[in-house]
Structure 1
Amino acid sequence: MTGKPEQTVSDHTLERYVGNTIRDLRQRHGLTIAEVSEQVGISRGMLSKIENAQTATSLETLAKLASALGVSLATLFRNYNIPAGSAQLVKQGEGMEVVRRGTKRGHTYHLLAYDQGPTKLFEPFLITMDDASEVFPTFEHPGTEFIYMLEGAIEYRHGQSTYLLEPGDSLTFRGDIPHGPEKLITLPIRFLAIIYYSMLPTDA
Structure 2
Amino acid sequence: MEQERGTNQPSLEEAVGTAIRELRLRHGLTLAQVAEKAGISRGMLSKIENGQTSAGMDTLSRIARALGVSMSMLFSKYDATTTSAQHIRKGAGMEVVRRGTKSGHTYQLLAYDQGPIKAFEPFLITIEDDSERYPTFEHPGNEFLYMLEGQIEYRVGQETYLLEPGDALSFQGDVPHGPERLIACPIKFLSVIVYPRAPE
Sort the TM-score into its range (normalised by shorter chain): 0.5 to 0.7
* Match 1:113 to one of 111, 114, 118: 111
Deviations 1:118-152 (A, max 9, x none): 12100000000011122111000000000000000
Report if aligned partners of 1:155, 1:165 keep a CA contact under 8 Å in 2. yes
Question: Secondary structure of 2:101's partner?
Answer: coil
Which residue of 2 is the match for residue 165 of structure 1?
163
Report if aligned partners of 1:143, 1:196 keep a CA contact under 8 Å in 2. yes
Question: Given the two structures, how large is their TM-score scaled by the length of structure 2?
Answer: 0.56
Give the alignment of 1:36-75 within 5 angstroms: none
Q: Which of the pair has more CA radius of gyration?
A: 1
Which residue of 1 is the match for residue 11 of structure 2?
none
C-alpha RMSD of matched pairs (Å): 1.4
Which residue of 1 is the match for residue 180 of structure 2?
182
Question: Given the two structures, how large is their TM-score scaled by the length of structure 1?
Answer: 0.55
Report if aligned partners of 1:103, 1:136 keep a CA contact under 8 Å in 2. no
- AA at the equivalent of 1:115: D
Q: CA deviation at 1:99?
A: 1.3
Which residue of 2 is the match for residue 4 of structure 1?
none
Report the identity percentage.
71
Give the alignment of 1:94-173 within 5 angstroms: 94-104=92-102, 106-173=104-171
Deviations 1:33-84 (A, max 9, x none): xxxxxxxxxxxxxxxxxxxxxxxxxxxxxxxxxxxxxxxxxxxxxxxxxxxx
2-structure distance, mates of 1:174, 1:105: 23
Aligned residues: 116
2-structure distance, mates of 1:112, 1:132: 25
List gaps (5 residues or longer) in structure 2: 1-82
